[in-house]
Structure 1
Amino acid sequence: MKTAAVICPGRGTYNAAELGYLATHFPDPALLSQFDEIRRQAGQDTLSELDGAERFSMARHTRGDNASGLIFAASYGDFLSINRNEIEVVAVTGNSMGWYTALACGGALTATDGFNVANTMGTLMQQALIGGQTIYPWIGDDWKPDFARKAELLQQVEAINAETDNELYLSIDLGGMLVLAGNAEGLEAFEQTVEPLQGRFPMRLGNHAAFHTSLQEPVASQGQQQLSRDPFGQPELPLVDGTGRIWWPGATDADALYDYTLGAQVTQTYDFTRALTVTAREFAPDIFIILGPGTTLGGAVAQSLICADWRGMDGKAAFQREQSEETLLAAMGMQDQRSLVAK
């Protein structure tokens, strides 16, 4: 039996190619009906309606109040689809809103409570829509870490943030990418300062707010008012959060887990690279399973493992060798890799 660490994706992973993902892959129609009822009670389009739309709409499907529910359900459905007769899940982590999914996959929240947290926070963020995000790489096409370049970019961020009227912060440390967040002035200052790369960076992310920064404190406060502590409990699987901390079964303070989830997780940098480093070194899984939807997180996972010097990998070529020989990563959003780990 193989051991696996499960990785839950965040916002930006349900796009045009994923339309119909729930209809195709979600394994529990009764549970999906429960998710739909939660949305219906809130006066929102159901997931079945969104996923079953004739065409994908950027304006409709990527809104926080719709995207969060779609992504949570797609990821949780994939978690249920893992072949547990052949794969032992030893830890769960996630990127950004994927932390909410991880809580449910790891058993600290029920499926419906986890969905309610993800849906509520996505809705609150959409309603507030404070600030925005942009993304910029600090490693080249060979994926060889250039930590001096990363430090230089972060110094630029600090300098921009220090200027009057500018707010700019590291939102997510995402493998070889920096996801930056701030107000319009701060984002524009950065985008005008750095060299354009690959014809697409710096890339402003549509319908994204200044996640994981102090700008989200009003949203965190609203989340704490709307979401109860009561559903949070002991995880059944170890959970690795956005600081690299492990929440162990039988040794987790449920109040502290709630406080982190609706506090620091919302208002402070989410260090996905650190989460992957800790997951790899602490649990040494045979395989990393990236839940769907989407296929965009694989590069960040591979780059995070390279940054962690996992198995001596020093760049893209080394990762590709390992992947071809032993399948280190299996992304369930890719049908050929899904078949390796799904029932």
Structure 2
Amino acid sequence: MKTAVLICPGRGSYTKAELGSLSRFPDRDLLARFDARRRAEGQETLSDLDSTAIYSVARHTRGDNASALIYACSLGDAIALRGVKLVAVTGNSMGWYSALACAGALSPEAGFEVANTMGRLMQEHLIGGQLIYPFMGPDWTAAPARKAELLALTYKINARPNHVLALSIDLGGLLVLAGNEAGLAAFEAAVPPVEGRFPMRLGNHAAFHTTLQAPIAALGRAALPETLFDRPQLPLIDGRGHVWWPGAATRTSLRGYTLGHQVTETYDFTAAIRSAAREFAPDLFIIAGPGSTMGGAVAQSLILANWQGLASKADFQARQTANPIVISMGLPEQRALLKN
């Protein structure tokens, strides 16, 4: 049996193409409990959001809707996963909440409570914003000098009066930056357009993983007790690349990281994938749904780690053709590769 690391996606992974994803959720009773919890909070149910005929950016990308939808899709794929031996779990940004549940550090219901609560708090306050900008070229080769140049620009802008800008997520070949309007606008004005779409603002996204979110972290700690958390049953890799081992992690420390550092400091997804590769050397990197937007970032992170000699997009594509190592469960043809 092949070994695998499970990767849970974050915000932005539930798009128009993902409508109907919950039709494959393997535990209808559990989904009904999620719906009942949201109904009790005066929120739209996940079933209603997922089954609507028309995708709405204003409706589906809201933090209080998107976070719960993404959590449920990722958890459902984890429950349905067969034919591999999971050796570790990680995630990107809010995917950390999904990863906690998939690794057993949160029950399915507790994980839903964390994801739904944090998504609601982010949406209610919506402090700052985010944008994406690439530092890798189209060949996906490492470009450390370009990355350093962009980060230096970020620090310089952040030092200006009334400007806030910081690295939110280190995402493979992409930098996700977050800050206030002045900081974001200054960066947009300072860099050349790339591929006709970058720098790209992310709608309904707050300044995740920056000190601007300290009030949200405090509200999260007030709303989410330590009793929700438990020791993980599988190793967990967080947004620093740190491994939480089942026999060593405690509910106190996990909650402290989840509702502290994870909210207010940079989320280094690249480091998480590097740790997953080097610490566990899995046969497969499996990306849970919804969608397939994380495939490029995972591949780029493996290239940056020089995993098994991968050094470019061409290297990765050749490896995928010969013997796939990254599988997105949101793609039916790749999901089928995991069936017994």
Distance 2:339 2:207 in 1: 35
Q: TM-score, normalised by structure 2?
A: 0.99
Q: Which residue of 1 aligns with 2:63?
A: 64
Q: Which residue of 1 aligns with 2:98?
A: 101
Alignment size in residue pairs = 340
**1:127-178 Cα distance to aligned partner (Å, 9 max, x none):** 0000000000000000001101000000000000000010000000000000
**1:57-102 Cα distance to aligned partner (Å, 9 max, x none):** 110010000000000000100111111xx20000000000000000
Q: Which residue of 2 aligns with 1:338?
A: 335
Residue type matched to 2:324 in 1? T
Distance 1:134 1:21 in 2: 26
The CA deviation at 1:249 is 0.8
Q: Which residue of 2 aligns with 1:3?
A: 3
The CA deviation at 1:203 is 0.2
Q: Which residue of 2 aligns with 1:78?
A: 77
Select the residue among 151, 154, 158 that pairs with 1:154: 151
Residue type matched to 2:35 in 1? D
The CA deviation at 1:241 is 0.2
Identity value in percent = 60
Q: Which residue of 2 aligns with 1:19?
A: 19
The CA deviation at 1:294 is 1.0
Q: Which residue of 2 aligns with 1:243?
A: 240
Distance 1:212 1:11 in 2: 13
Distance 1:229 1:45 in 2: 27
**1:242-268 Cα distance to aligned partner (Å, 9 max, x none):** 001111112112101100000000000
Select the residue among 249, 254, 268 that pairs with 1:252: 249
Instruction: Report SS of the residue matched to 2:34.
Output: helix
Q: Where do residues 263-302 of structure 1 align in structure 2 (5 Å cutoff)?
A: 263-302=260-299
Runs of 4+ aligned structure 1 residues displaced above 6 Å come to none
**1:209-242 Cα distance to aligned partner (Å, 9 max, x none):** 0000000000000000000101211100000000
Select the residue among 309, 313, 323 that pairs with 2:310: 313
The CA deviation at 1:318 is 0.5
Distance 1:231 1:144 in 2: 42
Q: TM-score, normalised by structure 1?
A: 0.98
Instruction: Report SS of the residue matched to 2:178.
Output: strand
Distance 1:172 1:2 in 2: 30
Instruction: Report SS of the residue matched to 1:134.
Output: strand
Q: Which residue of 2 aligns with 1:129?
A: 126
| Contact kept? 1:109, 1:233, Cα under 8 Å | yes
Residue type matched to 2:6 in 1? V
Unaligned runs of 5+ in 2: none
**1:174-201 Cα distance to aligned partner (Å, 9 max, x none):** 0000000000000000000001000000
| Contact kept? 1:26, 1:78, Cα under 8 Å | yes
Instruction: Report SS of the residue matched to 2:333.
Output: helix
**1:104-126 Cα distance to aligned partner (Å, 9 max, x none):** 00000000100110000000000
Residue type matched to 1:104 in 2? A
Structure 2 CA distance for partners of 1:206 and 1:342, relative to 1, 3 Å: farther
Distance 2:242 2:15 in 1: 31
Distance 1:342 1:119 in 2: 31
Q: Which residue of 1 aligns with 2:180?
A: 183
Instruction: Report SS of the residue matched to 1:243.
Output: coil
Distance 1:71 1:232 in 2: 20
Residue type matched to 1:125 in 2? M
Counterpart check, 1:329 vs 2:326? yes
Distance 2:339 2:139 in 1: 31
Instruction: Report SS of the residue matched to 1:230.
Output: helix
Counterpart check, 1:139 vs 2:136? yes
| Contact kept? 1:81, 1:342, Cα under 8 Å | no
Q: Which residue of 2 aligns with 1:51?
A: 50
The CA deviation at 1:326 is 1.0
Distance 1:265 1:41 in 2: 28
The CA deviation at 1:342 is 4.4
**1:12-32 Cα distance to aligned partner (Å, 9 max, x none):** 011110011102x11110010
Residue type matched to 1:298 in 2? G
Residue type matched to 1:164 in 2? P
Instruction: Report SS of the residue matched to 2:282.
Output: coil
Distance 2:36 2:76 in 1: 17
Distance 1:337 1:215 in 2: 39
Select the residue among 198, 217, 220 that pairs with 1:223: 220
Residue type matched to 2:31 in 1? L
Q: Which residue of 2 aligns with 1:199?
A: 196
Distance 1:191 1:336 in 2: 38
Residue type matched to 1:157 in 2? T
Distance 1:254 1:227 in 2: 12
Counterpart check, 1:209 vs 2:232? no
The CA deviation at 1:328 is 0.5
